[in-house]
């Protein structure tokens, strides 16, 4: 059985925050929080959905999406399965730990390597490996656990398919706005490679924390792909984004509260590259609560692994970024983290 350490505490039963989880204010990025900002809401059933997405991606880099077509019962069932997974004993979850060189499985976020303290959360990534292989590790008893395995696999397969369809629709609308003449999809060519687009589903658990002001659930970061579609549990606040500003206003965190019937969509780094800087990859973090246990489900969507993503340049523009594949960009992120986008900028001096 894998050994337990301060890297893998039974967080929910902890009565204090160990030193390895205590974040100094400078690393928590403790800017003021505002509740007055209005995050855009995009109803994608409207004829003007593409222009609404364009405005939201330029002004905020994050928006709520409604009329997305994903049944509420599927969202609730997938959320229930996520709670069931994280309620398993820690030693059972550790059996499904992320292996070296793999992104699938249980473990700390990859971005942990860039911070001096651990995050008050657990994560489970579903990518690449067959779901049944993961589920067999979590629920190994062939008779007693068979229903748990099969139900988990069926639910997560349905959830990923629904998210995949929504991500493709959102990306089509986004490409229509980037292209300038509604021809963005034709110009890139790769969106038609349906089975080759890369996806990953990240399940996150944020247990109650005895000293939430000293801990962080997920440190400040941007996402690397095109789009992230997020479902948050219940009515609990946890996700926050940095409010864009031109330097004249104070830097502030804006809570992204769960909204009934809506999902949250983030712009990722590759979409900032593809839009030639028109859209901004949003910096965000997750905070924790003293009394509430929150889960979230983040679906990441990106291009085929061999596709070079470069700026879609309009007449009179120069490209800001050099083309890169998603795997190449992830290698850059593993070295530079926050400096990744800056490192692939093109100098025109």
How sure is the predictor about 183, in pLDDT bands with cuts at 50, 70 and 90?
low
Instruction: Please provide the average confidence, as pLDDT, over all residues in the chain.
Output: 87
- Residue scoring higher pLDDT (119 or 102): 119
* Closest listed residue to residue 286, CA positions, set 301, 266, 310: 266
Which CATH number applies to 36-303: 3.10.129.10, 2.60.120.330, 2.40.30.10, 2.60.120.10? Answer: 2.60.120.330
pLDDT band at 343 (very low <50, low <70, confident <90, very high): very high
pLDDT at residue 203 above 90? yes
CA 159 vs CA 152, 225, 252, 327, 346: distances in Å: 10, 19, 33, 25, 39
Among residues 257, 294, 333, 335, the one annotated as catalytic is 294
- pLDDT, average across residues 70-98: 93
pLDDT on residue 6: 45
Average pLDDT of span 209-218: 94
In this predicted structure, the answer to whether residue 25 has a pLDDT above a threshold of 90 is no
Question: In the structure, what pLDDT confidence band is assigned to residue 2 with cuts at 50, 70 and 90?
Answer: very low
Read off the pLDDT band of 3 (50, 70, 90): very low
d(CA 347, CA 330): 22
Is 294 a catalytic site residue?
A: yes
Give the pLDDT confidence score for residue 84 in this predicted structure. 92
Yes or no: say if 89 and 122 are a contact pair by the CB < 8 Å rule. no
Predicted local confidence at residue 145, as pLDDT:
59
Q: Using pLDDT thresholds of 50, 70 and 90, give the confidence band for residue 103.
A: confident
pLDDT score at 1 = 34
Q: Is the pLDDT of residue 331 over 60?
A: yes
Q: For residue 181, is pLDDT > 70?
A: no
Report the first-to-last Cα separation within the chain, whole angstroms. 58
Domain boundaries, the chain: 36-303
pLDDT score for 8: 60
**pTM attached to this predicted model:** 0.92
pLDDT for the residue numbered 123: 94
Highest mean pLDDT among 65-69, 234-238, 290-294: 65-69
Tens digit of pLDDT for each residue in 35-79?
768 899 999 999 999 999 999 999 999 999 999 999 999 999 999
pLDDT for 144: 60
- pLDDT the model gives residue 285: 95
For residue 111, name the pLDDT band (cuts at 50, 70, 90): confident
């Amino acid at each position: 059985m894998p050994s337990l350490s301060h890297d893998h505490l039974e967080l929910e039963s902890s009565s204090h925050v160990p030193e390895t989880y205590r974040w100094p204010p400078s690393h928590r990025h403790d800017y003021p929080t505002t509740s007055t900002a209005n995050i855009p809401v995009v109803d994608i059933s409207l004829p003007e959905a593409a222009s609404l997405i364009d405005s939201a991606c330029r002004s905020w880099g994050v928006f709520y999406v409604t009329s997305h077509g994903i049944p509420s019962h599927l969202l609730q069932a997938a959320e229930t399965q996520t709670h069931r997974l994280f309620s398993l004993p820690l030693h059972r979850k550790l059996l499904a730990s992320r292996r070296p060189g793999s992104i699938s499985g249980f473990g700390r976020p990859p971005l942990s390597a860039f911070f001096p303290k651990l995050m008050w959360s657990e994560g489970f990534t579903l990518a690449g490996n067959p779901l049944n292989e993961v589920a067999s590790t979590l629920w190994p008893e062939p008779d007693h656990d068979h229903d748990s395995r099969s139900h988990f696999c069926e639910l997560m397969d349905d959830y990923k398919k629904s998210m995949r369809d929504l991500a493709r629709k959102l990306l089509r609308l986004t490409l229509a706005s980037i292209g300038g003449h509604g021809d963005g999809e034709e110009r890139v060519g790769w969106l038609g490679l349906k089975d080759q687009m890369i996806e990953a589903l990240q399940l996150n658990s944020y247990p109650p924390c005895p000293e939430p002001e000293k801990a962080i659930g997920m440190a400040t970061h941007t996402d690397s792909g095109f789009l992230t579609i997020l479902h948050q549990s219940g009515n609990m606040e946890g996700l926050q984004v940095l409010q864009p500003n031109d330097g004249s206003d104070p830097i502030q965190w804006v809570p992204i509260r769960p909204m009934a019937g809506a999902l949250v969509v983030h712009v990722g780094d590759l979409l900032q590259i593809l839009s030639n800087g028109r859209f901004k990859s949003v910096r965000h973090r997750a905070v924790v609560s003293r009394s509430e246990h929150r889960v979230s489900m983040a679906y990441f969507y990106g291009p085929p692994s061999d596709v070079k993503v470069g700026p879609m340049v309009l007449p009179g523009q120069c490209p800001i970024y050099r083309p890169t594949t998603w795997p190449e960009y992830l290698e850059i992120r593993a070295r530079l983290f926050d400096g990744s986008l800056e490192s692939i900028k093109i100098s025109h001096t």
